[in-house]
Amino acid sequence: MAGDELKVVRGFSSKASPLPQDLLKADTREVPAGLLATGTYPSADKTIALNRYCSPEFAQLEKEKLWKKVWQFACREEDIPNVGDRIPYTVGDLSFMIVRSGPSSFRAFYNTCLHRGTRLCDGMSSGESVRCPFHAWEWNLDGSLKNIPSRWDFPKVDSEKYRLPDVKCETWGGFIFVNPDPDAAPLSKALGVLPEHFASFNPAERFTAFHIRKKVRANWKITMEAFLESYHVVETHTESLGFTGDASTQYDVWDDGASHISRLITPSAIPSPHLGDHASVADAVNQAFQAFALAMPGVPVPQYDPASRLNGRAQVAEWRRQMMGAGLGRDFSNVSDATMIDSIQYYMFPNFCPWFGEGLPLVYQFLPHGDNPNESIMSVRLTVPVPGGGAPRPPSAPIREIDFDERFDAVPEIGLLAIIFDQDMGNLPRVQAGLRGAEPGHAFATLGRYQEQRIRHFHDVLDRTLEA
């Protein structure tokens, strides 16, 4: 309907729970320009056909037109810290081997032996060359053929033609990306606003403090979409409502045709607007103190001080600056309140979700699992600033695999996050099961115009990608 767009409500606030842009005006520090920036994607209604979440044909189309054609997040540089280290990046039944080929250079190869097809790398490994475990064909780190046992038996094998086939591999901020399309534009085109928005966050100077890979009985898009909106918080994470501005979340999309980026800002240390105008700011601040303290065992937990010259959010931010500063030997004194405490999550099409800020510095990656459209893998890592004062860079945490029927609370050291992820995971197999049995006349999802716009944008881009 013409003019209908004007009726869109851009977030739902209450007196106790302002919208993010109003909170940013009250920040005690200069706010990074990226946080003040807002997206330009028009609001619209959208329905999504449910068969794209379970059809083997659709998954096959994604393999050919999406995963073989776009820049995608593979791993972090610190996962392979030494020359010769390598790790697989496996997306569906495609697999690539990411190799540190020099002190600060990386290469990515098809993870398949040119003799009889064996997967070359099936976990973190290392060495001056890549040797197949079956018959020991061997390649140098630049992909050139090094050795074939019984070379006399392969007179037709031309060493030049038996270089390991490689794929494009570039880095940004310590993140390694690959693109199997030899004609792809450079990574910088796909990053869009990310380098500018993350400049103050310096993702290169961070290390992976924990890294979990969870197998999920749901399509990779179902798993991912559950993390692109805060609309589900009111029902799924009810106990967070006291200190989370879920419905006041700001959503933004930036799309210039080459880069497809979206973001949410969910404010912390304010009550949910669902709790109404009379919700307690003091309770919100105290609960935020408690939630952050779960990740810092042994640290004394302050209480909201109504007499302080600082508002409640600023009190939590100041405590975080001091605790993190003392723990890491770094100076957070100029870092904005929002950066210290809010949940600010970016998304780059198709599988990369880096969070911004110290509130929740996570990185998500979403991947299809094998050729089964009903299964996926979600990788979650926490990136922490590298300690200051010349301390050595801590090693990247080893990957902790969590199987389909295992829960995140098997990793209690991640504190409150384990409870939250288990709540999310509880929904996902039910969504997958439900959508597969939908009544044929109503086999579509219906998206909220504002709060689910990042999902709409994702499907808009997916459609364009699959049609290309």
Contact positions vs ligand FES (CB under 6 A): 113, 115-116, 118, 132, 134-137
Q: Is the peptide bond before 103 cis (omega within 30 degrees of 0)?
A: no
Site string for Fe ion, 97-126 (x = CB under 5 A): ------------------------------
Q: What number of residues does the chain have? A: 468
- Residue 35 · residue 355 · CB < 8 Å: no
Q: Are strands 250-255 and 46-49 parallel, antiparallel or unpaired?
A: unpaired
Minimum CB separation of residue 137 from ligand FES in Å reads 4
Number of C-beta neighbours around residue 1 at 10 A = 5
Name which of Fe ion, ligand FES, none residue 68 binds, using a CB cut-off of 5 to 8 Å depending on partner kind: none
Q: Decide whether 113 or 317 has the Cβ nearer to ligand FES.
A: 113
Name which of Fe ion, ligand FES, none residue 404 binds, using a CB cut-off of 5 to 8 Å depending on partner kind: none
Backbone angles phi, psi at 97, to 5 degrees: -105, 120
Name which of Fe ion, ligand FES, none residue 326 binds, using a CB cut-off of 5 to 8 Å depending on partner kind: none
Minimum CB separation of residue 120 from ligand FES in Å reads 8
Minimum CB separation of residue 340 from ligand FES in Å reads 51
Going from the C-alpha of 76 to that of each of 111, 190, 203, 209, 383, the distances in angstroms are 18, 18, 10, 12, 10
Q: Decide whether 147 or 322 has the Cβ nearer to ligand FES.
A: 147
Q: What is the CA 125 to chain-centroid distance, rounded?
A: 24
Binding to Fe ion (CB under 5 A) within 412-431 occurs at 424
Structure tokens at 463: 């459609």
Going from the C-alpha of 455 to that of each of 49, 128, 452, 462, the distances in angstroms are 13, 43, 6, 10
Minimum CB separation of residue 314 from Fe ion in Å reads 26
Q: Decide whether 121 or 228 has the Cβ nearer to Fe ion.
A: 228
85-105 residues labelled b (16+ CB within 10 A) or e (exposed): bbbbbbbbebbbbbbbbeeee
Q: Decide whether 43 or 118 has the Cβ nearer to ligand FES.
A: 118
Side-by-side strand order, sheet with 72-76: 72-76, 175-179, 166-172, 105-110, 94-102, 86-91
Q: Decide whether 133 or 398 has the Cβ nearer to ligand FES.
A: 133
Minimum CB separation of residue 138 from ligand FES in Å reads 8
Q: Decide whether 27 or 424 has the Cβ nearer to Fe ion.
A: 424
Q: What is the CA 341 to chain-centroid distance, rounded?
A: 18
Minimum CB separation of residue 418 from ligand FES in Å reads 40
Dihedral sign (CA 231, 233, 238, 244)? negative
Minimum CB separation of residue 415 from Fe ion in Å reads 15
Q: Decide whether 12 or 162 has the Cβ nearer to Fe ion.
A: 12
Q: Decide whether 154 or 404 has the Cβ nearer to ligand FES.
A: 154
Minimum CB separation of residue 271 from ligand FES in Å reads 60
Name which of ligand FES, Fe ion, none residue 137 binds, using a CB cut-off of 5 to 8 Å depending on partner kind: ligand FES
Name which of Fe ion, ligand FES, none residue 118 binds, using a CB cut-off of 5 to 8 Å depending on partner kind: ligand FES
- Residue 434 burial class via C-beta count within 10 angstroms: exposed 0-12, middle 13-18, buried 19 and up: exposed
3-class DSSP state of 420: helix
Name which of ligand FES, Fe ion, none residue 424 binds, using a CB cut-off of 5 to 8 Å depending on partner kind: Fe ion
Q: Hey, what's the torsion of the CAs at 123, 129, 130, 134, to 10 degrees?
A: -110
Site string for Fe ion, 368-407 (x = CB under 5 A): ----------------------------------------
Name which of ligand FES, Fe ion, none residue 116 binds, using a CB cut-off of 5 to 8 Å depending on partner kind: ligand FES
Cα diameter, the chain: 85
Minimum CB separation of residue 296 from ligand FES in Å reads 48
Q: Decide whether 135 or 213 has the Cβ nearer to ligand FES.
A: 135
Minimum CB separation of residue 424 from Fe ion in Å reads 4
Instruction: Determine the straight-line distance between the first and last CA of the chain, rounded to whole angstroms.
Output: 29
Name which of Fe ion, ligand FES, none residue 282 binds, using a CB cut-off of 5 to 8 Å depending on partner kind: none
Binding site for Fe ion (CB under 5 A): 424
